[in-house]
Amino acid sequence: MGLISGTLLSSNEEILYSIPIMLLIIPALNSLTGDISTVLVSRLTTHLYIGTLSPKIKISERLKEDFYGLLITLLLSLVSLLFLGYLVGVISGIKIINPLLMSFIITLTILLLFFIMFITLFIGAIFLFKRGMDPNNFLIPFVTSLADFLTPLFLILFIIIFI
Amino acid sequence: METQDSKGKIIKETFPSEVVSIVGDLLAGIVLSLLILPFDSFLVLLLMIPALLSLRGNLSGPFIARTSRDLVIGNFSKRSWIENVLATYTLSIITAIFIGIFSIILNLIFFKLYILSNQYFITIPIISIVLTLSISVPCSTGLNYLAFKKGLNPNNVVNPVMTAIDDFSTVFCFFLTIIMLGVP
Domain boundaries of chain B, sorted by first residue:
31-180
Torsion of Cα atoms, B10 then B13 then B15 then B18, to 10°: -120
Tell me, what's the pLDDT at B40? 83
CATH of range A2-162; options 3.30.2310.20, 1.10.357.20, 2.60.40.10, 3.40.50.150? 1.10.357.20
Instruction: Name the band, by pLDDT with cuts 50, 70 and 90, for residue B3.
Output: low
CATH of domain B31-180: 1.10.357.20
Q: Does B57 touch chain A (CB under 8 A)?
A: yes
What are the Cα distances from residue A120, in Å, to A108, A124, A142? 18, 6, 11
Counting residues of chain B whose pLDDT is more than 70, the rounded percentage is 97
Of A11, A136, A140, which has the smallest distance from its Cβ to B110's Cβ?
A: A11
Is the Cβ–Cβ distance between A42 and B14 less than 8 Å? no
Tell me, what's the pLDDT at B63? 85
Instruction: Name the band, by pLDDT with cuts 50, 70 and 90, for residue B5.
Output: low
Is the Cβ–Cβ distance between A159 and A15 less than 8 Å? yes
* Residues B134-177: tens digit of each pLDDT: 998 999 899 888 888 888 877 777 877 787 788 888 889 999 99
Pick out chain A residues at pLDDT < 50.
none
* B162: nearest Cα among B17, B26, B27, B10: B17
Round to whole Å and give the CA distance between B147 and B132. Answer: 22
Instruction: Name the band, by pLDDT with cuts 50, 70 and 90, for residue B28.
Output: confident
Q: Does B30 touch chain A (CB under 8 A)?
A: yes
Asked if A46 and B2 come within 8 Å (Cβ–Cβ), the reply is yes
Q: Does B11 touch chain A (CB under 8 A)?
A: yes
* A147: nearest Cα among B58, B146, B18, B131: B58
ipTM of the complex: 0.84
DSSP single-letter state for residue A134: -
Asked if A24 and B26 come within 8 Å (Cβ–Cβ), the reply is yes
Instruction: Name the band, by pLDDT with cuts 50, 70 and 90, for residue B90.
Output: very high
Asked if B10 and A34 come within 8 Å (Cβ–Cβ), the reply is no
* Residues B95-146: tens digit of each pLDDT: 999 999 988 998 888 877 788 888 888 999 999 999 998 998 999 899 888 8
